[in-house]
Amino acid sequence: MPAPTATPSAASQVKPGLEGVVATETKLSMVDGQNGVLIIAGYPIEEFAGKVSIEEAAMLLWTGSLPSKEEVPQLQKELASYRALRPETIEIIKTARNAPPIDALRMACATLSLDVSNPNDISPAGDLALAKRLLSRFPTVIATHSRMRQGLDPIAPRSDLSLAANFLYMTFGVEPDPLAAKALETYWVTVSDHGMNASTFTARVIASTRSDMVSAVTGAVGALKGPLHGGAPGPVLDMLVDIKSADKAEAWLRGEIKEGRRIMGFGHRVYKVRDPRAEVLAKTASQMAGAHLQNAKLYDLARAVEKTAIKVLEELKPGRNLKTNVEFYTALVLQSIGLQPDQFVSMFACGRAAGWCAHVMEQHAQDRLIRPQSHYVGPKGLTLSR
């Protein structure tokens, strides 16, 4: 006789993927997918990105208020003082020089509290001290990895540059283009926080056990690596290269959909209209395109492909609301400043570190273990016959 199986109870309400489940209250960001609205600590993303630095955005998320204009220079000076990496971290990056950048970042992240006297301090002051180090050092890790995998010596950080400008200097070894630094900074601010996404939820689950900031953020980096969360900007460029010209876009898109393949840069788990972050980054991509002929051609192609894709998706997948998401213009912005597609996810992490740290702080303050239940659907009553 087959073993009996569990039957769902009337009270059981399984929500696959936790769809629609509200896990906590937050003051950090609000995502309205129906109306295409993203609020960062009170500010609409369109009002925010491009007008403040990532350092200012981080302090807003961490403390609840933007620093004054008079406070900004001292803030940037303080954060710049944390950029240098310990020898142990540099050795790990060297060992991981042939690994994808996001893997190198995950490995290095776990070491970024080695110079803190009490890395397990989860008080507000302890969390803030670690948050400042993580935000400041993530770009240093990626720049150092970029140099080492090319067989080049890493470049020491400079304290007279903004976080974005210093990353470009450390990566390319020349004075950073102000327009490129501004584009990167706008990107980082745009992706600094975005509700209860997979990596943020991961960080909060870890923090809810009273684990430390670095452990929680290291876990978040691991969650971001998955292609369903942070891995699609690179394939957007592959798509544009394959399409080649605007007149070939419709046939290419129809062929991909017919074969059951996803159109990269379109559709979002939450947004049912155009992603508001795409609006911000489209303007940034346009500014970069205006400065570089090659980028201008790619930008013009992307605009044409976006228009065609929206039309074809509405026709072939009616009711799905597959609109432009943040990944589409992320690819153009990061490519325009000279980065490689396999660096894109780690670049996302550099901006999202601000939000991850803020959520860890918020979770530590709430001090509530996150412990959802599961509904058992396996067998019961089995007996051993041996």
Active site residues: 268, 327
| Token pair for 72 | 């900004």
In SS3 terms, the chain reads as CCCCECCCCCCCCCCHHHCCCCCCCCCCEEEECCCCEEEECCEEHHHHCCCCCHHHHHHHHHHCCCCCCCCHHHHHHHHHCCCCCCHHHHHHHHHCCCCCHHHHHHHHHCCCCCCCCCCCCCCHHHHHHHHHHHHHHHHHHHHHHHHHHCCCCCCCCCCCCCHHHHHHHHHHCCCCCHHHHHHHHHHHHHCCCCCCCHHHHHHHHHHHCCCCHHHHHHHHHHHHHCCCCCCCHHHHHHHHHHHCCHHHHHHHHHHHHHCCCCCCCECCCCCCCCCHHHHHHHHHHHHHHHHCHHHHHHHHHHHHHHHHHHHHHHHHCCCCCCCECHHHHHHHHHHHCCCCHHHHHHHHHHHHHHHHHHHHHHHHHHCCCCCCCCCCCCECCCCCCC
Best CA proximity match to 220, nearest among 125, 82, 87, 358: 358
Pair 79, 164: CB distance under 8 Å: no
Best CA proximity match to 320, nearest among 277, 278, 273: 273
